[in-house]
């Protein structure tokens, strides 16, 4: 059996102490990477007007901490939402912004879209930015339905259509069941119309969901279902 003499033990202790000091010094001089993106808001809610074809929103951020942050990737949840970033590397204290452009198209109502962003730091989770846009309907119709009762003659009735647009409008109507005759009268170009409807027969208990189609150049088509029935 071999035993360490006293000098050997002292030497081992000195070596261990030396490496402990070296590691401690490295930790002090080179602390772990520490930086993050600070966002004033991660959710933006906007309202489009009837004539908007695109909506632009900005998500500003700032680098908080002592290290540079590199943006590894960013993408949107929909092809209707494009995303732009000036560059991918940001220094401590530097500010930037994610600029996103939402294309309205034929969409109506609340539109919820997301942007997913990741930094080059593998320990960082994905940052989710949310954009909510309300697109108002471009077409309103009164009354909400046209109805013929058993006591009514099967004459012509009409509904009033209002359209909010400063752009040229094309309006059409389709009866998929061919149970009713229809035509559209222009009251005020690109603004007010009348939809005339008449049952094609004296049959009772017939109904159809007419399809009103509005087309605006540069925006696209929007369709609205409109119910007519003869009891």
Banded pLDDT at 87 (limits 50, 70, 90): very high
CB atoms near residue 37 (< 10 Å): 18
Higher pLDDT, 10 or 56: 56
* pLDDT averaged over every residue in the chain: 86
- What domains, with CATH codes, occur in the chain? 35-135 (2.60.40.10), 139-230 (2.60.40.10)
pLDDT in tens, 90-129: 999 999 999 999 998 878 889 999 999 999 998 888 999 9
pLDDT of residue 28: 46
Banded pLDDT at 29 (limits 50, 70, 90): very low
pLDDT of residue 8: 55
Q: Measured between alpha carbons, how far is 50 from 191 in angstroms, rounded to an integer?
A: 12
pLDDT of residue 222: 80
Higher pLDDT, 15 or 45: 45
pLDDT in tens, 157-187: 999 999 877 778 889 999 999 999 999 999 9
Whose tokens are 């939809």? That residue is: 195
pLDDT of residue 15: 46
Q: Is 21 helix (H, G, I), strand (E, B) or coil?
A: helix
Asked whether the predicted pLDDT for residue 33 surpasses 90, the reply is no
Residue of 180, 164, 178 lying closest to 214 (CA atoms)? 164
């Amino acid at each position: 059996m071999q035993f360490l003499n006293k000098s050997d033990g002292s030497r081992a202790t000195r070596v261990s102490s030396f490496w402990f000091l070296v590691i401690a010094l490295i930790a002090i001089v080179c602390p772990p990477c520490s930086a993050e993106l600070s966002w004033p808001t991660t959710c933006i809610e906007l309202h489009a007007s009837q004539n908007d074809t695109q909506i632009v929103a900005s998500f500003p951020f700032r680098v908080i901490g002592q290290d540079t942050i590199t943006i590894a990737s960013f993408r949107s949840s929909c092809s209707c939402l494009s995303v732009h970033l000036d560059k991918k590397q940001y220094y401590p204290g530097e500010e930037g912004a994610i600029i996103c452009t939402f294309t309205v198209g034929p969409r109506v109502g609340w539109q919820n879209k997301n942007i997913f962003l990741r930094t080059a730091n593998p320990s960082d989770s994905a940052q989710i930015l949310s954009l909510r846009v309300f697109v108002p309907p471009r077409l309103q119709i009164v009354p909400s339905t046209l109805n013929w009762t058993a006591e009514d003659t099967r004459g012509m009735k009409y509904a009033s259509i209002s359209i909010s647009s400063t752009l040229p409008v094309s309006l059409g109507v389709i009866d998929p069941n061919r149970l009713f005759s229809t035509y559209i009268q222009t009251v005020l170009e690109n603004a007010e119309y009348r939809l005339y409807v008449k049952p094609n027969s004296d049959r009772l208990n017939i109904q159809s969901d007419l399809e009103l189609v509005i087309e605006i150049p540069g925006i696209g088509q929007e369709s609205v279902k409109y119910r007519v029935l003869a009891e």
